[in-house]
Amino acid sequence: MSLRRYCGMTAAVSLGLCLAFAVGAQDEGAPVQVSASPDMEPAQTTELTDAHGPAVAGDAAAGAGKAAACAACHGADGNSVDPQYPKLAGQSERYIARQLAMYKDGSRQDPVMLGFASILSPQDMRDVGAYFATLKALPGIADDSTTEDGSKFYQVGEKLYRGGDLERGIPACLACHGPSGRGNPGSMYPALAGQHAGYTARKLEAFRDGQAWGKDNNRNTVMVDVAATLTNAEIQSLASYIEGLHDAAEVAAQ
Protein backbone atom coordinates (compact mmCIF):
# COMPACT_ATOMS: atom_id res chain seq x y z
CA MET A 1 0.00 0.00 0.00
CA SER A 2 1.47 3.33 -0.91
CA LEU A 3 1.06 6.18 1.50
CA ARG A 4 1.17 9.89 0.86
CA ARG A 5 1.66 11.78 4.09
CA TYR A 6 0.67 15.35 4.78
CA CYS A 7 2.49 16.22 7.86
CA GLY A 8 3.38 19.87 8.48
CA MET A 9 5.83 19.73 11.30
CA THR A 10 4.59 22.72 13.30
CA ALA A 11 0.95 21.88 12.80
CA ALA A 12 1.56 18.25 13.58
CA VAL A 13 3.34 19.05 16.81
CA SER A 14 0.83 21.61 18.02
CA LEU A 15 -2.26 19.64 17.08
CA GLY A 16 -0.74 16.31 17.97
CA LEU A 17 -2.18 14.95 14.77
CA CYS A 18 -0.67 14.09 11.48
CA LEU A 19 -2.92 13.07 8.67
CA ALA A 20 -1.95 10.32 6.29
CA PHE A 21 -4.08 9.59 3.28
CA ALA A 22 -3.66 6.02 2.24
CA VAL A 23 -3.93 5.70 -1.49
CA GLY A 24 -6.12 2.76 -2.30
CA ALA A 25 -6.85 1.95 1.36
CA GLN A 26 -10.02 0.04 1.92
CA ASP A 27 -11.16 1.90 5.08
CA GLU A 28 -13.79 4.57 4.90
CA GLY A 29 -12.66 8.04 5.89
CA ALA A 30 -9.13 9.40 6.04
CA PRO A 31 -6.83 7.11 8.02
CA VAL A 32 -4.95 8.91 10.71
CA GLN A 33 -1.44 8.80 12.04
CA VAL A 34 -1.35 9.85 15.61
CA SER A 35 1.72 11.79 16.53
CA ALA A 36 2.88 12.96 19.89
CA SER A 37 4.86 15.47 21.89
CA PRO A 38 8.58 14.95 22.63
CA ASP A 39 9.57 12.27 25.10
CA MET A 40 9.96 13.00 28.79
CA GLU A 41 12.78 12.08 31.13
CA PRO A 42 13.08 8.31 31.60
CA ALA A 43 11.32 6.77 34.59
CA GLN A 44 13.64 5.11 37.12
CA THR A 45 13.45 1.36 37.55
CA THR A 46 15.31 -1.60 38.90
CA GLU A 47 17.42 -3.41 36.37
CA LEU A 48 16.40 -6.91 35.34
CA THR A 49 19.07 -9.53 35.23
CA ASP A 50 19.28 -11.69 32.12
CA ALA A 51 20.93 -11.18 28.74
CA HIS A 52 23.60 -9.07 30.35
CA GLY A 53 25.87 -11.95 31.30
CA PRO A 54 29.29 -11.89 29.73
CA ALA A 55 28.22 -9.81 26.77
CA VAL A 56 29.56 -6.32 26.29
CA ALA A 57 27.49 -3.56 24.67
CA GLY A 58 26.16 -4.55 21.27
CA ASP A 59 27.94 -3.72 18.04
CA ALA A 60 25.43 -2.69 15.37
CA ALA A 61 27.80 -3.43 12.47
CA ALA A 62 28.41 -6.97 13.70
CA GLY A 63 24.69 -7.28 14.34
CA ALA A 64 23.77 -6.41 10.76
CA GLY A 65 25.36 -9.62 9.49
CA LYS A 66 23.92 -11.73 12.29
CA ALA A 67 20.43 -10.32 11.58
CA ALA A 68 20.38 -11.49 7.97
CA ALA A 69 18.30 -14.53 8.94
CA CYS A 70 15.72 -12.32 10.65
CA ALA A 71 14.80 -10.31 7.57
CA ALA A 72 12.54 -12.99 6.11
CA CYS A 73 9.97 -12.27 8.79
CA HIS A 74 10.93 -9.00 10.46
CA GLY A 75 11.77 -7.14 7.23
CA ALA A 76 15.13 -6.11 5.81
CA ASP A 77 14.77 -2.71 7.48
CA GLY A 78 13.18 -4.15 10.65
CA ASN A 79 9.69 -3.11 9.49
CA SER A 80 7.94 -6.40 8.86
CA VAL A 81 5.48 -6.32 6.01
CA ASP A 82 3.41 -9.25 7.23
CA PRO A 83 1.59 -8.00 10.35
CA GLN A 84 1.87 -11.34 12.15
CA TYR A 85 5.56 -10.55 12.73
CA PRO A 86 6.38 -7.66 15.05
CA LYS A 87 8.41 -4.71 13.80
CA LEU A 88 11.84 -4.58 15.42
CA ALA A 89 13.08 -1.31 13.89
CA GLY A 90 13.79 1.27 16.57
CA GLN A 91 13.44 -1.25 19.37
CA SER A 92 16.14 -0.90 22.02
CA GLU A 93 19.18 -3.15 22.18
CA ARG A 94 18.61 -4.35 25.71
CA TYR A 95 14.91 -5.05 25.24
CA ILE A 96 15.66 -7.16 22.16
CA ALA A 97 18.54 -8.96 23.86
CA ARG A 98 16.35 -9.73 26.87
CA GLN A 99 13.51 -11.10 24.75
CA LEU A 100 15.93 -13.29 22.78
CA ALA A 101 17.41 -14.65 26.02
CA MET A 102 13.89 -15.47 27.23
CA TYR A 103 12.95 -17.21 23.98
CA LYS A 104 16.13 -19.25 24.26
CA ASP A 105 15.54 -20.33 27.87
CA GLY A 106 11.84 -20.95 27.15
CA SER A 107 10.51 -18.38 29.61
CA ARG A 108 8.96 -16.55 26.63
CA GLN A 109 7.43 -19.29 24.56
CA ASP A 110 7.25 -19.20 20.80
CA PRO A 111 8.23 -22.22 18.70
CA VAL A 112 9.54 -20.13 15.80
CA MET A 113 11.60 -17.75 17.90
CA LEU A 114 12.91 -20.59 20.05
CA GLY A 115 14.69 -21.89 16.97
CA PHE A 116 16.16 -18.55 15.95
CA ALA A 117 17.18 -17.48 19.46
CA SER A 118 18.77 -20.83 20.33
CA ILE A 119 21.63 -20.33 17.92
CA LEU A 120 22.51 -16.88 19.28
CA SER A 121 25.07 -16.26 22.03
CA PRO A 122 24.43 -13.46 24.59
CA GLN A 123 26.82 -11.29 22.58
CA ASP A 124 24.97 -12.07 19.32
CA MET A 125 21.74 -11.03 21.04
CA ARG A 126 23.16 -7.66 21.98
CA ASP A 127 24.70 -7.16 18.53
CA VAL A 128 21.44 -7.82 16.66
CA GLY A 129 19.66 -5.68 19.24
CA ALA A 130 22.06 -2.81 18.60
CA TYR A 131 21.51 -3.22 14.87
CA PHE A 132 17.70 -3.06 15.03
CA ALA A 133 17.95 -0.10 17.44
CA THR A 134 19.65 1.90 14.67
CA LEU A 135 16.76 1.35 12.22
CA LYS A 136 13.68 3.62 12.00
CA ALA A 137 10.23 2.30 12.81
CA LEU A 138 7.80 3.27 10.08
CA PRO A 139 4.43 4.35 11.45
CA GLY A 140 1.25 2.67 10.33
CA ILE A 141 -2.18 4.23 10.38
CA ALA A 142 -4.73 4.42 13.15
CA ASP A 143 -8.34 3.50 12.41
CA ASP A 144 -10.34 6.71 12.55
CA SER A 145 -13.68 5.30 11.46
CA THR A 146 -16.60 6.65 13.46
CA THR A 147 -17.99 4.44 16.22
CA GLU A 148 -21.59 4.24 17.49
CA ASP A 149 -21.09 7.03 20.03
CA GLY A 150 -19.69 9.34 17.36
CA SER A 151 -16.06 9.16 18.50
CA LYS A 152 -13.26 7.86 16.31
CA PHE A 153 -12.19 4.24 16.76
CA TYR A 154 -8.69 5.03 18.06
CA GLN A 155 -9.83 7.68 20.56
CA VAL A 156 -10.66 5.31 23.44
CA GLY A 157 -7.11 4.01 23.15
CA GLU A 158 -5.64 7.49 22.85
CA LYS A 159 -7.31 8.54 26.09
CA LEU A 160 -6.00 5.48 27.97
CA TYR A 161 -2.55 5.81 26.42
CA ARG A 162 -2.20 9.42 27.42
CA GLY A 163 -4.18 9.58 30.66
CA GLY A 164 -4.83 6.06 31.93
CA ASP A 165 -7.94 5.51 34.03
CA LEU A 166 -7.49 6.60 37.62
CA GLU A 167 -10.66 4.95 38.92
CA ARG A 168 -9.67 1.57 37.55
CA GLY A 169 -6.04 1.96 38.54
CA ILE A 170 -4.78 1.86 34.94
CA PRO A 171 -1.62 3.95 34.56
CA ALA A 172 -1.09 6.06 31.45
CA CYS A 173 0.91 4.02 28.96
CA LEU A 174 3.03 7.06 28.10
CA ALA A 175 4.49 7.05 31.62
CA CYS A 176 6.63 4.09 30.58
CA HIS A 177 6.37 3.81 26.81
CA GLY A 178 6.79 7.55 26.23
CA PRO A 179 4.46 10.14 24.71
CA SER A 180 5.58 9.21 21.21
CA GLY A 181 5.81 5.48 21.94
CA ARG A 182 9.58 5.32 21.72
CA GLY A 183 9.88 3.36 24.95
CA ASN A 184 12.72 3.74 27.40
CA PRO A 185 15.90 1.86 26.58
CA GLY A 186 17.44 2.23 30.06
CA SER A 187 14.47 0.64 31.76
CA MET A 188 13.83 -1.82 28.92
CA TYR A 189 10.34 -0.45 28.34
CA PRO A 190 9.80 -1.45 24.73
CA ALA A 191 9.13 0.99 21.93
CA LEU A 192 5.55 0.55 20.70
CA ALA A 193 5.12 3.29 18.07
CA GLY A 194 4.05 1.99 14.66
CA GLN A 195 3.76 -1.64 15.79
CA HIS A 196 1.24 -3.78 13.90
CA ALA A 197 -2.09 -3.55 15.70
CA GLY A 198 -2.72 -7.29 15.53
CA TYR A 199 0.53 -8.06 17.35
CA THR A 200 -0.06 -5.40 20.01
CA ALA A 201 -3.61 -6.64 20.61
CA ARG A 202 -2.41 -10.24 20.98
CA LYS A 203 0.18 -9.19 23.54
CA LEU A 204 -2.31 -7.12 25.54
CA GLU A 205 -4.76 -10.05 25.58
CA ALA A 206 -2.00 -12.38 26.78
CA PHE A 207 -0.95 -9.94 29.51
CA ARG A 208 -4.59 -9.62 30.57
CA ASP A 209 -4.73 -13.43 30.79
CA GLY A 210 -1.85 -13.26 33.26
CA GLN A 211 1.00 -14.11 30.91
CA ALA A 212 4.32 -12.60 31.99
CA TRP A 213 7.75 -13.44 30.65
CA GLY A 214 10.90 -14.21 32.58
CA LYS A 215 11.85 -16.40 35.49
CA ASP A 216 12.18 -15.62 39.21
CA ASN A 217 13.59 -12.13 39.77
CA ASN A 218 13.59 -11.55 36.07
CA ARG A 219 9.84 -12.07 35.72
CA ASN A 220 8.29 -8.79 34.78
CA THR A 221 4.62 -8.68 35.74
CA VAL A 222 4.07 -4.97 35.22
CA MET A 223 1.94 -5.44 32.11
CA VAL A 224 -0.22 -8.09 33.79
CA ASP A 225 -1.35 -5.44 36.27
CA VAL A 226 -1.70 -2.75 33.61
CA ALA A 227 -3.84 -4.92 31.31
CA ALA A 228 -5.91 -6.74 33.95
CA THR A 229 -9.16 -4.85 33.43
CA LEU A 230 -8.87 -3.78 29.80
CA THR A 231 -11.91 -4.70 27.70
CA ASN A 232 -11.60 -6.20 24.21
CA ALA A 233 -12.81 -2.93 22.71
CA GLU A 234 -10.20 -0.95 24.65
CA ILE A 235 -7.44 -3.35 23.54
CA GLN A 236 -8.43 -3.00 19.88
CA SER A 237 -8.56 0.77 20.15
CA LEU A 238 -5.22 0.99 21.98
CA ALA A 239 -3.60 -1.25 19.37
CA SER A 240 -4.93 0.94 16.58
CA TYR A 241 -3.79 4.16 18.27
CA ILE A 242 -0.32 2.68 18.84
CA GLU A 243 -0.02 1.61 15.19
CA GLY A 244 -0.53 5.22 14.11
CA LEU A 245 1.60 6.72 16.89
CA HIS A 246 4.89 8.28 15.87
CA ASP A 247 7.21 11.18 16.49
CA ALA A 248 5.87 14.00 14.32
CA ALA A 249 9.20 15.78 14.01
CA GLU A 250 11.03 12.63 12.93
CA VAL A 251 8.49 11.74 10.26
CA ALA A 252 8.39 15.31 8.95
CA ALA A 253 12.17 15.21 8.61
CA GLN A 254 12.15 12.02 6.50
For ligand HEC, the binding residues (CB under 6 A) are 67, 69-70, 72-74, 85-86, 88, 96, 99-100, 108, 110, 112-113, 116, 128, 160, 170-171, 173, 175-177, 189-190, 192, 200, 203-204, 213-214, 220, 222-223, 226, 238
- Cβ 194 to ligand HEC, closest distance in Å? 11
Residue 195 to residue 90: CA distance in whole angstroms: 10
Residue number with CB closer to ligand HEC (19 or 103): 103
- Cβ 246 to ligand HEC, closest distance in Å? 16
Residue number with CB closer to ligand HEC (139 or 190): 190
Q: Which residue stretches of the chain are H helix?
A: 9-15, 60-66, 71-74, 93-105, 111-118, 122-134, 155-163, 174-177, 197-208, 222-227, 232-244, 248-253
Helices vs strands, H then E, count in the chain = 12, 4
Residue number with CB closer to ligand HEC (22 or 77): 77
Bridge partners of 4, per DSSP, are 21
- Cβ contacts of residue 77 below 8 Å, gap of 6+? 89, 135, 136, 138
- Cβ 100 to ligand HEC, closest distance in Å? 6
- Cβ 152 to ligand HEC, closest distance in Å? 17
